[in-house]
Amino acid sequence: HPDFKLDMHLDVEEGNAAGAKNGQIASII
């Protein structure tokens, strides 16, 4: 859908927040 890229970006941001405590930062591609 039209918001696919935005949704992916938000998922990455959430992943960064969730993984930061483990020192695992996702890359924004």
What pLDDT is stored for residue 24 in this prediction? 56
What pLDDT is stored for residue 21 in this prediction? 61
How open is the CA angle 11-4-19, to the nearest 5 degrees? 10
What pLDDT is stored for residue 19 in this prediction? 67
What pLDDT is stored for residue 27 in this prediction? 57
**pTM to 2 decimal places:** 0.36
What pLDDT is stored for residue 6 in this prediction? 74
Each residue's pLDDT tens digit in the chain (29 positions)? 567 777 777 777 877 777 666 655 555 55
Distance CA 25, CA 15 (A): 8
Contact 26, 8 (CB under 8 A): no
- Three-state secondary structure call for residue 13: helix
Least Cα distance to 12 among 23, 24, 2, 26 occurs for 26
- Three-state secondary structure call for residue 23: coil
